[in-house]
């Protein structure tokens, strides 16, 4: 089974910009992996921010964006807010099976 | 509005089975897949598998093959995930989620495996 890798933790200043990345043990992440990004706060169910690399839901704040960057999927947060402090999970598709990354704990400080 | 409502918390003994339900409303149940995800206490998310709510076809992570059964009842728009031979490390919150954007998740079902 493929392994999906994320930074274990990142810190961003309020108002700052940070990029979370998502790599694959099988090689470059492409749009064919249909990258997803989920946000999870303590005690809550995950919430989907980005699907299919860069698509947003109606509830996704405009400050979040998804892309492919240097062979990885990327989630960029521009203008971080205190409420963005959370765990972020990447999720990739491999021929009808799916694998989560280990998550990135984002601190806004 | 789209909703996925899961069954309540369960406490099971090692070796037993658990069946979690996920009742869908607000959309055409057979038009989407339902995925199952779990999260052990203090741990990350783990994908378990999916069921095609139309055909009933399934696919699951290799880790769960032989232990997980996913079914659905289209008459009542409900998907089920049955996990057998429970162990203490199966203690987790189990979620269902709707495919195509994963915009809708169930509220989660805590399954505790303890002797």
The tens digit of pLDDT for each residue in A35-78 reads 999 999 999 999 999 999 999 999 999 999 999 999 999 999 99
For chain B, what percentages of helix, strand and coil (3-state, to nearest 5) are there?
10, 50, 40
Pairing label, strands B92-98, B33-39: antiparallel
Task: Indicate yes or no: CB of A98 within 8 angstroms of CB of B47.
Answer: yes
CA dist A74 and B78 (Å) reads: 35
**A36, A45, A103: residue with CB nearest B95:** A45
Nearest-Cα distance to chain A for B94, in Å, is 10
**pLDDT on residue A1:** 86
Sequence length of chain A is: 109
**A48, A101, A102: residue with CB nearest B103:** A48
- Annotate B48-74 with DSSP letters as a single string: EEEEETTT--EEE-GGGTTTEEEEEEG
Task: Indicate yes or no: CB of A96 within 8 angstroms of CB of B59.
Answer: yes
- The stretch B86-103 carries a mean pLDDT of 95
- The stretch B19-30 carries a mean pLDDT of 98
**pLDDT on residue B100:** 86
């Amino acid at each position: 089974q493929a392994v999906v890798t994320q930074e274990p933790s990142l810190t961003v200043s309020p108002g700052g910009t940070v990029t979370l990345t998502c790599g694959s043990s099988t090689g470059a992440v492409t749009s064919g992996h249909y990258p997803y990004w989920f946000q999870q706060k303590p005690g809550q169910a995950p919430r989907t921010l980005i699907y299919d690399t860069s698509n947003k839901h109606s509830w996704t704040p405009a400050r979040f964006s998804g892309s492919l960057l240097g062979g990885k999927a990327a989630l960029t947060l521009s203008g971080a807010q205190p409420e963005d402090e959370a765990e972020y999970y990447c999720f990739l598709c491999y021929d009808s099976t799916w694998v989560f990354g280990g998550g990135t704990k984002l601190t806004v400080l | 509005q789209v909703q996925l409502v899961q069954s309540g918390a369960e406490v099971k003994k090692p070796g037993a089975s658990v069946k979690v339900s996920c009742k869908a409303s607000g959309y055409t149940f057979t038009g989407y897949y339902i995925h199952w995800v779990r999260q052990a206490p203090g741990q990350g998310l783990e994908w378990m598998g999916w069921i095609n709510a139309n055909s009933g076809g399934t696919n699951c992570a290799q880790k769960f093959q032989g232990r997980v059964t996913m079914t659905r009842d289209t008459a009542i728009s409900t998907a089920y995930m049955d996990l057998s031979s429970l162990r203490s490390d199966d203690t987790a919150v189990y979620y269902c989620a709707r495919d195509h954007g994963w915009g809708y998740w169930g509220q989660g079902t805590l399954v505790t495996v303890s002797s």
